[in-house]
Structure 1
Amino acid sequence: MRGEIDIANATQLCAALLHATDRSECQCLIVDLSKVQFIDLSGVRALYECCRVLTWEGRHMVLAEPSAAAQRVLTALRMDRDFEIYPIVEAALVHTARQRYEEGPITGVCGCD
């Protein structure tokens, strides 16, 4: 993802993320936020809704490498406690692959059970 995530594109973002996972065997969606320059409440809500839907379907979503702007908003909204967030994309890949191998499907993330 890059640029801005706000009220103008939040709904489309969630739909696009869900559509991308529907077309594949994706069990874990890693959302790279490193190039996000701006995110507002609508954007965070869209990410949370996407995470909620995936969790309901028995899948998993994590956030990775949030930009300073994204991290500030997630922290201010206390959503850094609800999302599973990794400091770099590679850490998210390693952790989710290890969890899938050791424990099977991942459930109960995003605080949205």
Structure 2
Amino acid sequence: MPETRAAPVGGITVVEQADCTVAHLWGEIDESLRDQASTALMRALDRDLPVVLDTSEVRFIDSTGVAFLIQFCRVGRDDGLSVRLHEPPQVVTDVLEMLGMRDMFDDEPSGRREPEVRSGPVVR
């Protein structure tokens, strides 16, 4: 009997734009994405450009996922980079607010276009 694989229920991809690096998080952000999170963090920080964490399609986030967001922000800040959340859903903002960490991310610039997370070189 052939092996069947379940479709991924979450993921992290990195899109390199000219003026920033977008890490697009979707679905369930948990322990199973640890390797993707590490790759995304390294790739984004290597570019030395502002970082956008697009969490607009996150449906669930556990403590590992929250730790990834916080680590991304802290390491980015240590490197002098702007790190912001793009359209975080309530499931993300509720946890960050409960931990008192919502304000650690930069605000979305007003009037700026949405990041185009599905075009450009993707690093998985």
TM-score class, shorter-chain normalisation, is 0.5 to 0.7
Taking the TM superposition and a 5 Å limit, the aligned residue runs for 1:1-113 are 1-10=25-34, 12-22=36-46, 24=47, 26-86=48-108, 91=110, 93=112
Structure 1 consecutive aligned stretches of length 4 or more whose deviation exceeds 2 Å: 81-86, 90-94
Which has the greater radius of gyration? 2
Alignment length, in residue pairs? Answer: 89
Identity %: 34
SS of 2:32's equivalent in the other structure is coil
SS of 2:110's equivalent in the other structure is helix
- For residues 92 and 11 of structure 1, the distance between their equivalents in structure 2, rounded to whole angstroms, comes to 34
TM-score, with length taken from structure 2: 0.59
Report the structure, 1 or 2, having the larger strand content: 2
Change (3 A) 1:62 1:9: same
Of 11-20 and 51-60, the range deviating more from structure 2: 11-20
The letter for the 1-side match of 2:77 is T
Alpha-carbon RMSD: 2.4
SS of 1:17's equivalent in the other structure is helix
Structure 2: state its 5+ residue gaps. Answer: 1-24, 114-124
Report the structure, 1 or 2, having the larger helix content: 1
- For residues 12 and 70 of structure 1, the distance between their equivalents in structure 2, rounded to whole angstroms, comes to 19
TM-score, with length taken from structure 1: 0.64
